[in-house]
Amino acid sequence: MAGNKITLSVIKADIGSIGGHIKPSSKLIETVREHIRENGIDLFKDFYVSSTGDDIAILMTHTHGKANKDIHKLAWDAFIEGTAVAKEQGLYGAGQDLLKTSFSGNVKGMGPAVCEMEINERPNEPFLFFAADKTDPGAYNLPLFLSFSDPMHCAGLLLSPKMSKGFTFNVMDVSHVKGDRVISLNTPEEMYDLAALLRDNERFVVESVFARSDNGQAAVVSTTRLHNIAGKYTGKDDPVMLVRTQKSFPATGEILSPYNIGHFVAGFMRGSHVGPLMPVKLNSTISYFDGPPVVTCAAFCVHNGKLTEPVDAFDHAYWDYVRNEVSRKATEIRRQGFSGAAMLPYSELEYGGIVEILKRLDKRFKVRN
């Protein structure tokens, strides 16, 4: 595939919000946007700053490749400047995701979530920018599996000879903290092996997907686990994702298709529950039980690094129907409160409270003969 080499970078953080963990203030978003505009003019080709729930994401197009120090520093500094405004306004959780104090070349491992891909820009290059709040990176596992390997969601696997060659999934073991532990699996041959890993959303996370027809990168997901960096709960990992669509990749509608399931994901209140993932309109807030977990999708075309305006992929009457169905699922699981499947297993409980209760009670157990 010939074309311009460009890099799409998304760097995202929760640096404070209004009324709890709901939504950043307009002034905060504007501060981040202005910082990027004023300081990055010689660095990027284009950019887009947006919020999903309490998170702010910076999308940049540029020619400096992945993990570029200047691009990462620009985003880091924008979040630092934003944090000062968040503090000034008394926003809740000001600077929450900035876990380190000084910038060391790359925001990975410093708190913000990152996903980037370097691509050969096609003459017309449609892509989708997903951002989710009140959940974690494994939330994209099932939709990616279905869009790229299941003809029930992706008709192209049957109807497009290119796509029937399948895809390569790179899956990361996010429980491995000393470096990136990754496996590559090819579909369709290794679909069952892939499913066996992806059933465990908290441990195995799809990091990227490539087309086997032309080796072009289709998707990239942020894989940060904040508690691995901080050693304790500091907020959920609220993942971002980029997906290129059409031609050798699934069509936009095939990528969106699995979001009508409202599958149950980890997150929701205090990052400790299970709730259905609701596809919402851009700029939606967070509400019921600090949730439900939400995902937004901004569709773009990029040409010579210049972005079109975003189109809100979930702003359509069809998704109103889905949102009602997902609300029903959220209400249903909430009816059982803390019991069983409604709350995450002990190993995933983000708040220390329950761990302490169980430790305290442990001493009071007596073994009867």
Give the binding site for Mg ion (CB under 5 A).
Answer: 14, 21, 53-55, 133, 235, 238
Specify the residue for token string 């009071």.
364
**C-beta of residue 11 within 8 angstroms of C-beta of residue 72:** yes
The whole-angstrom separation of Cα 32 and Cα 85 is 10
Tell me which of ligand F6R, Mg ion, none is bound by residue 55, counting a contact when its beta carbon lies within the kind-specific cut-off of 5 to 8 angstroms.
Answer: Mg ion
How many helices (H) and strands (E) are present in the chain, helices listed first? 9, 16
User: Alpha-carbon dihedral of residues 144, 148, 153, 156, nearest 10 degrees?
Assistant: 150
Contact partners, residue 214, CB within 8 Å, separation at least 6: 1, 162, 248
Q: Which of residues 321-360 bind ligand F6R (CB under 6 A)?
A: none
Rounded to the nearest whole angstrom, what is the least distance from the CB of residue 271 to ligand F6R in the complex?
Answer: 4
Tally Cβ neighbours within 10 Å of residue 349.
18
Tell me which of Mg ion, ligand F6R, none is bound by residue 20, counting a contact when its beta carbon lies within the kind-specific cut-off of 5 to 8 angstroms.
Answer: ligand F6R
Q: Decide if residue 195 touches ligand F6R (CB under 6 A).
A: no
Rounded to the nearest whole angstrom, what is the least distance from the CB of residue 367 to ligand F6R in the complex?
Answer: 36
Rounded to the nearest whole angstrom, what is the least distance from the CB of residue 134 to ligand F6R in the complex?
Answer: 5
Q: Which of residues 39-98 bind ligand F6R (CB under 6 A)?
A: none
Amino acid at 315: D
Question: Which range, of 66-74, 75-83, 119-127, 265-273, touches ligand F6R by CB under 6 A?
Answer: 265-273
Rounded to the nearest whole angstrom, what is the least distance from the CB of residue 15 to Mg ion in the complex?
Answer: 9
The whole-angstrom separation of Cα 189 and Cα 350 is 37
| Integer Rg of the chain from CA | 20
Q: Give the contact letters, 224-263, x = binds to ligand F6R (CB under 6 A), - = no.
A: -----------xx---------------------------
Tell me which of Mg ion, ligand F6R, none is bound by residue 136, counting a contact when its beta carbon lies within the kind-specific cut-off of 5 to 8 angstroms.
Answer: none
Q: Would you put residue 53 in left (φ > 0), alpha (ψ -120 to 50) or beta? A: left
Query: Coil, helix or strand for 304?
Result: coil
- 93 or 188: whose CB is closer to ligand F6R? 93
Rounded to the nearest whole angstrom, what is the least distance from the CB of residue 136 to Mg ion in the complex?
Answer: 10
- 134 or 153: whose CB is closer to ligand F6R? 134
Q: Would you put residue 63 in left (φ > 0), alpha (ψ -120 to 50) or beta? A: alpha
Q: Which of residues 273-292 bind ligand F6R (CB under 6 A)?
A: 290
How far apart are the two ends of the chain, measured CA to CA in Å?
Answer: 72
- 107 or 294: whose CB is closer to ligand F6R? 294
φ and ψ of 297, to 5 deg: -145, 115
14 included as an active-site residue: yes
Active-site residue (options: 12, 14, 48, 97): 14
Q: Concatenate the DSSP letters of all residues of 224-248 into one string.
A: --HHHHHSS--S----EEEEE-STT
23 included as an active-site residue: no
Q: Which of 12, 21, 73, 334 binds ligand F6R (CB under 6 A)?
A: 21
Q: For residue 2, what is the enclosing H or E element?
A: none
Q: Decide if residue 12 touches ligand F6R (CB under 6 A).
A: no
236 included as an active-site residue: yes
Rounded to the nearest whole angstrom, what is the least distance from the CB of residue 285 to ligand F6R in the complex?
Answer: 13
The whole-angstrom separation of Cα 292 and Cα 277 is 7
Q: Which of 3, 19, 20, 337 binds ligand F6R (CB under 6 A)?
A: 20
Query: Coil, helix or strand for 305?
Result: coil
- 126 or 276: whose CB is closer to ligand F6R? 276
- 57 or 209: whose CB is closer to Mg ion? 57
Tell me which of Mg ion, ligand F6R, none is bound by residue 244, counting a contact when its beta carbon lies within the kind-specific cut-off of 5 to 8 angstroms.
Answer: none
Q: Kindly state the tokens that stand for 216.
A: 């072009």
DSSP, res 138: G
Active-site residue (options: 46, 77, 233, 315): 233
Q: Kindly state the tokens that stand for 288.
A: 């019921």
Q: Decide if residue 271 touches ligand F6R (CB under 6 A).
A: yes
**C-beta of residue 292 within 8 angstroms of C-beta of residue 268:** yes
Residues forming the active site:
14, 233, 236
User: Which residues contact ligand F6R by CB under 6 A?
Assistant: 20-21, 134, 235-236, 269-271, 290
